[in-house]
Amino acid sequence: AQSVTQLDSQVPVFEEAPVELRCNYSSSVSVYLFWYVQYPNQGLQLLLKYLSGSTLVKGINGFEAEFNKSQTSFHLRKPSVHISDTAEYFCAVSVTAAGKLIFGQGTTLQVKP
C-alpha cells in the first residue's frame, strides 16, 4: 500500500519570500507523483507531476518540485511567493499514471503582505 505524509499542516510566509512544502511518500513499488492546489471553494488544479526522467519538475505559476527516490520525497518549491499563492496544497501518488490518487492531508500556504 502507498501513503503520503505532508510534513507541515500550515506554512506562513511573507510575500516575495521563498517557500518549500514538504512531502514524503511510502511505497513498495515505483509511483508517479503529483502536486495539486486547491483555492477556497474550488476543485483541485494540477501544479506539476513526475512520471519519469529528470527529477526536477517545473510546473505552473513558477512552482517546481524535486523527486528524491532515496529519501522518498517530492518537495514543492517556489523562489518568490505572491499573495495569490495562498491556498491548500496537496501531494499525491499513484501506482499508475491514470490510476487512483492517494493524497496527503494537505498544507495550507498562508502568504502575508
Mark 35-62 as b/e (b = at least 16 C-beta within 10 Å).
bbbeeeeeebeebbbbeeeeeebebeee
- The residue among 47 and 111 lying less far from another protein, judged by its C-beta, is 47
- Which residues ranging from 88 to 107 are in contact with another protein (CB under 8 A)? 90, 92, 97-106
Q: Which residue has the cell 515505483?
A: 30
Work out how close the CB of 93 gets to another protein at its nearest, in angstroms, rounded to a whole number: 11
# of chain residues touching another protein (CB under 8 A): 24
- The residue among 22 and 49 lying less far from another protein, judged by its C-beta, is 49
Phi-psi category of 61—alpha, beta or left, where left has phi over 0 and alpha has psi -120 to 50? left
Work out how close the CB of 16 gets to another protein at its nearest, in angstroms, rounded to a whole number: 28
Which x/- pattern over 23-62 shows residues binding another protein (rule: CB under 8 A)? ---------x-x-x----xxxxxx--x-x-----------
Residues engaged in binding another protein (CB under 8 A): 4, 32, 34, 36, 41-46, 49, 51, 90, 92, 97-106
